[in-house]
Structure 1
Amino acid sequence: MPPKAKFTREQISSAALNIIKEKGVESLTARELGRSLGSSACPIFTVFENMEEVSEAAKQLARDLYAEYINAGLKDTPAFKGVGMQYIKFAIEEPKLFQLLFMSEQQNKPNFQNVLPIIDENYSEILLSVESSFGVHDKIAEKLYQHLWIYTHGIAVLCATNMCVFTTDEIGTMMTEVLRGLLQILSIGEV
């Protein structure tokens, strides 16, 4: 009979997430996780097979937290700008989790057209917000999303790595200016 688990899967995953939030993903070790739980590392492996499985569970919790930010952005008007603002807010408030989700090296290098659906589980909802916010469809919506993601991702990376500090008003103004320029270019058929 296997030993009774001292901690639940949720407790271990949550402790792993907290380590990543505070110290970064490279600090997530069995020893550090055990210390965080007030135990040795052994009880971890009555619930998880290995540290990769623990890491993936913590990463899913990070994705779930990020999805909360995106859902808040989707309630703004226009929704797509709200999503961008929340993406940057996530980078500011949870820099280590942002780095884990959006600044990690990819196993297979996706081409630019495929990167957003690969790295963001919220891709479809965000694309719909582009279509509904600006009355554009298909390739124009994708192109607008791609261009603004590059810009928004750049601001978010600057914030997550403490390279720059921006106020919410500055971020909103910059995004509005770029968005207006892109809408003007895309509406005259330069696709």
Structure 2
Amino acid sequence: MPPKPKFTREEVIAAALEIVSEKGMEALTSRDLGARLGSSARPIFTVFQNMEELQQEVRIAAMKRFEAFSEKAIHYTPAFKQFGMQTILFAMEEPKLYQLLFMTENTVHRNFDDVFEDLGETAVVCMDVIQKDYGLNAQEAKALFQQVWIYTFGIGALCAAHVCHFTEEEINELLGQDFTAMMLLIRSGQLNDPTVQPHPKTEND
């Protein structure tokens, strides 16, 4: 008869998530996790087959924490802009988790649709908010979401890596400028219009 687990899966995941939040995924070892739980490393492997399985559960838990953080935006107006604010604030408050979720090297070629799916419920809620608040169709809403998310992701990466620090007022202004520029493009009817050519450079440019 197998030994009765000393800790539940949820308890182990919660302790592992806190280690990763403080020090990053590379700091998550069975020995340090056991110490965090006040035990040896052995009880961990009564509920997980190996560290790889635990690491995957930590990523899922990190995404849930991000979603809970970003979903606060739904109570603001405009909600979509606040989603961007919440994403960057998450990067500032949880830099190691932001790095885990959005800055881990990916060797598989992917397009934005794959990224969109990885964002889960956050992306779905954002799309609904955009279409409802701004009267955009699905194609326009996704184009807006993609542009603003890429811009937001970049600011978040700078903050999570401690390359730059922005105040909330500065973040608000930066996101507002990007959003306004993209909305002007959409409202002009030139979104994905193959007949629109870049303005050629002149000697005065």
TM-score (norm 2): 0.89
Any unmatched runs of 5+ in structure 1?
Answer: none
1:107 Cα deviation from its structure 2 partner: 5.0
Provide the residue aligned with 2:26 in structure 1. 26
Shift of 1:86: 0.5
Q: Would the alpha carbon gap of residues 107 and 123 (structure 1) be closer, same or farther in structure 2, given more than 3 Å must change?
A: farther
Kept in 2: contact 1:101–1:119 (CA 8 A): no
Name the larger-Rg structure. Answer: 2
Question: What residue number does 2:97 align with?
Answer: 97
Q: Deviations over 1:159-183 (max 9, x none)?
A: 1010111000110011111111111
Matched letter for residue 95 of structure 1: P
Shift of 1:118: 3.1
| 1:125 match | 125
Looking at structure 2, the residues matched to 115 and 104 of structure 1 have their Cα atoms a distance apart, in angstroms, of 15
Look up the match of 1:115.
114
Worse overlay, 117-126 or 25-34: 117-126
Aligned length: 190
Superposition RMSD on alpha carbons, in Å? 1.2
How far apart in 2 are the matches of 1:123 and 1:152?
A: 13
Residue 128 of structure 1: how far off its partner (Å)? 1.1
What is aligned with 1:46? Answer: 46
Q: Which residue of 1 aligns with 2:56?
A: 56
Q: Does 1:6 align with 2:6?
A: yes
Q: What percent identity do the matched residue pairs reach?
A: 43
Tell me, in whole angstroms, the C-alpha distance in 2 between the residues paired with 1:120 and 1:107: 19
Partners of 1:171 and 1:62 in 2: CA distance: 23
Summarize the alignment of residues 57-72 of structure 1 with structure 2, pairs less than 5 Å apart: 57-72=57-72
**Corresponding residue of 2:15:** 15
Please give the secondary structure, in 1, of the residue aligned with 2:183. Answer: helix
Q: Deviations over 1:97-122 (max 9, x none)?
A: 0111111123532113x133233112
Q: 1:55, CA displacement in angstroms?
A: 1.1
Query: CA–CA distance in 1 between the matches of 2:4 and 2:111?
Result: 46
Q: Which has the higher helix share?
A: 1
Q: Is the 8 A contact 1:144 1:182 kept in 2?
A: yes
Contact 1:102 1:119 in 2 (8 A): no
Q: Is the 8 A contact 1:75 1:82 kept in 2?
A: no
Structure 2 stretches lacking a partner, 5+ long: 192-205
Alignment of 1:136-147 (within 5 A): 136-147=136-147
